[in-house]
Amino acid sequence: MDFVRVIKNSNDLEKIIDLPQSLKNRKVEVIILPYADKEDLEQPKKRNLRGALSKYKNETLQARESDAWSKAVVDQYENH
């Protein structure tokens, strides 16, 4: 990123910028940076992980998933 940094007498800047009284008749540091609007900033692309684990799916077990938790609870606590 390009920028400019200079030391100037504040009297030279009075015509351009409204300066507080505490900065008048003093040397000041001027830093100029490029301005970036929100529109100018490039938004990072969101990555989509949909289907990333599809190689691990087991379609024969998918039918049994809906009642797997209730069966596991019955198996564990049936005799307690």
Q: Please state, rounded to an integer, the average pLDDT across all residues of the chain.
A: 86
Residue 41, pLDDT score = 64
Contact between 33 and 1 (Cβ < 8 Å): yes
CA 2 to CA 32: how far, in whole Å?
9
Among 60, 11, 5, smallest CA distance to 30 is for: 5
Residue 61, pLDDT score = 83
Read off the pLDDT band of 40 (50, 70, 90): low
Q: Which whole number is the average pLDDT over 31-56?
A: 81
Q: Which amino acid is at 37?
A: D
Q: Which DSSP state fits 26?
A: S
Residue 80, pLDDT score = 66
